[in-house]
Amino acid sequence: MDKTAVVTVERQFRHRMYKKMIKKTKRFIVHDEENKTNVGDIVEIMETRPLSKLKRWRLINIIEKSK
């Protein structure tokens, strides 16, 4: 997929009844115009108009590059 990146957002919360910590992940298909991202980068994304069947987000900037 050219000019496309998959961004995973992980969140933790405590289950109301069982009080156990649960991790949920959400995947966003992101438009990366210049193909600047690499695996492990921390990025900022923004919602945009539909660009394809799955792409509704675009890359704003790279906050931290992976090592």
Q: What is the pLDDT of residues 5-41, one digit of tens each?
A: 999 999 999 999 999 999 999 999 999 999 999 999 9
Parse the chain into domains and list their residue ranges. Answer: 4-64
Domain 4-64: CATH architecture, name and number where available:
Beta Barrel (2.40)
Yes or no: say if 33 and 2 are a contact pair by the CB < 8 Å rule. no
Find the radius of gyration of the CA atoms of the chain: 15
- pLDDT at residue 32 in the model: 97
Q: How far apart are alpha carbons 4 and 47 in whole angstroms?
A: 14
Average pLDDT over residues 48-56: 97
Question: Exposed (0-12), middle (13-18) or buried (19+): which is 1, by Cβ within 10 Å?
Answer: exposed
pLDDT band, residue 67 (cuts 50/70/90):
confident
